[in-house]
Structure 1
Amino acid sequence: MAEIDHIVLGARTLEEGAAFIEQHLGVKPRAGGRHEGFGTHNMLLGLGRGTYLEVIAPDPSQPDPQHGRLFDLDDPAVKVMLEAEPRLIAWVARTPVLDAVVARLGPRAGEVREMSRGDLSWRMAFPPQRQDMDNLIPALIEWKGEGASSRIPDSHVRLLALEAEHPDAEAVKGSLAERGLEEAVRVRRSPHIRLVARLRRADGQEVALSSG
């Protein structure tokens, strides 16, 4: 069984990402930290119920990583997109049995990577490119001990729904179902590929963040 762990907003810089979140959600994310060896750093916003929003950007203090930055931040198309403004670029699902899921999915699960930030540590499996359906299929995370959400103050912003749009909606549904995520995302057929997060601000206003 898996569930939504966090949603990911990409930005050229953390400053741009934080300003975007404050403008749209009415609250500023708090400092996170560096992903050593992966070329990124982040800021975090608690969404309650073990869920949070991550703002991620290239870390100029780190050298370029060997395998490229997380969530396709080095992809030329993503770079062009983020030149305009920060965007929702991905989401991550939490599972307590990552090895079992990887064993069942085989190569479709992707390579498991060991990661850490400060005294937090976790393992992640990113779907191979072209099998992630433009990041509609999430990376899977297994926290070692408590996860990041337990340390983030509640912003009183809430994630109401996560939606995926794709020309082959049935393929998206199938890939989510084999990861135990068929109830996590609303999937609909569309000529355009898009990830949409619907949130409610602390003042009650509803806001949609999307990948396009």
Structure 2
Amino acid sequence: MAEIDHIVVGARTLEEGADYIEAQLGVRPTKGGSHPGIGTHNMLLSLGPQQYLEVIAVDPGQETPPHPRPFDLDDAGVSMMLEAGPRLLGWVARTPVLDAVVTRLGASQAGEVKAWSRGELTWRMAMPPQRQDMRNLIPSLIQWDDGKGAAPRLKKSGCKLLALEAEHPEADQLREQLLQRGLEDALKVRRSPHPRLLARIARPDGAEVALSSG
């Protein structure tokens, strides 16, 4: 059974991303770290005992990697969008059977499984190719080596992910893709002319904020 692990907010710099999240949610993300060889670094914010928010940006301290950075950070359109300000880019789903899912779907749909690490955390991840991700509405899949991941390690923020929603003109196809990954109940899907991911989050003061990809 797969479930939501975290949502991903992209930014030109981590400072810009942290400022944005603090303005929206009233809490500043804490330092995460660098992803060696991947070309990115991040900051994190707890959204509950099993979920969190990741702010990700290009790491200026690393050389340009030989492969595209995750979450389309090297895409010209995404770069232009982030010039205007941080934006919700996508989400990641946690599964205990990553290899089985990728084998069943094939790398052309689910992506190739790659090992990642940061500090004491190690995990494996498969990111669907850009042409197969339905504008980042189909999530990357992650399997944490310790079975728990980053969320339980984070300090409580008082924020909580209330719901994750997706809009797409081919809503039935999106639902089928989520079903194939065991995620049919993970988010609400609606038909809309414009693809969009929407995360509804409760702030520590009880107010609800919606972060959107578009």
TM-score category (smaller protein): over 0.9
Runs of 4+ in 1 over 2 A off after TM superposition: none
Partner Cα separation in structure 1 for residue 181 and residue 160 of structure 2 = 24
Kindly report which structure 2 residues correspond to 1:61-76, keeping only aligned pairs within 5 A, or say none. 61-76=61-76
Q: Which residue of 2 aligns with 1:19?
A: 19
Percent identity over the alignment? 67
Find out whether 1:89 has 2:69 as its counterpart: no
1:34 is matched with 34
Q: Find the residue that maps to 1:37 and give its secondary structure.
A: coil
Amino acid at match of 1:102: V
Instruction: Identify the residue that residue 136 of structure 1 maps to in structure 2.
Output: 137
Corresponding position of 2:170: 168
The residue aligned with 2:117 is 116
Q: CA deviation at 1:106?
A: 1.5
Unaligned runs of 5+ in 2: none
For residues 184 and 141 of structure 1, the distance between their equivalents in structure 2, rounded to whole angstroms, comes to 15
Instruction: Tell me how far apart the structure 2 counterparts of residues 128 and 83 of structure 1 sit (CA, whole Å).
Output: 24
Q: What are the superposed Cα offsets for residues 142-181 of structure 1, whole Å, 9 maximum, x if unpaired?
A: 0001311121011110111101110100010000000000
Distance across 2 between alignment mates of 1:154 and 1:96: 25
Deviations 1:39-90 (A, max 9, x none): 0000000011310000000000001111111100000000000001100001
Q: What's the offset of the Cα at 1:103?
A: 1.5
What residue is the counterpart of 1:199 in the other structure? 201
Distance 1:31 1:170 in 2: 38
User: Tell me, which stretches of 5 or more residues in structure 1 are unaligned?
Assistant: none
TM-score (norm 2): 0.98
- The AA in structure 2 aligned to 1:67 is H
Q: How many Å separate the matches in 2 of 1:35 and 1:90?
A: 18
Q: Which amino acid aligns with 1:150?
A: P
State the partner residue of 1:102: 102
Structure 1 residue 197: Cα displacement: 0.2
**In structure 2, how many angstroms separate the alpha carbons of the residues matched to 1:84 and 1:143?**
33
**Equivalences, count:** 212
Write the distance in 2 (CA, Å) between the matches of 1:106 and 1:73: 24
> Which residue does the alignment assign to 1:153?
155
Helix, strand or coil for the counterpart of 1:130?
helix
1:190 counterpart residue number: 192
- Kept in 1: contact 2:196–2:212 (CA 8 A): yes
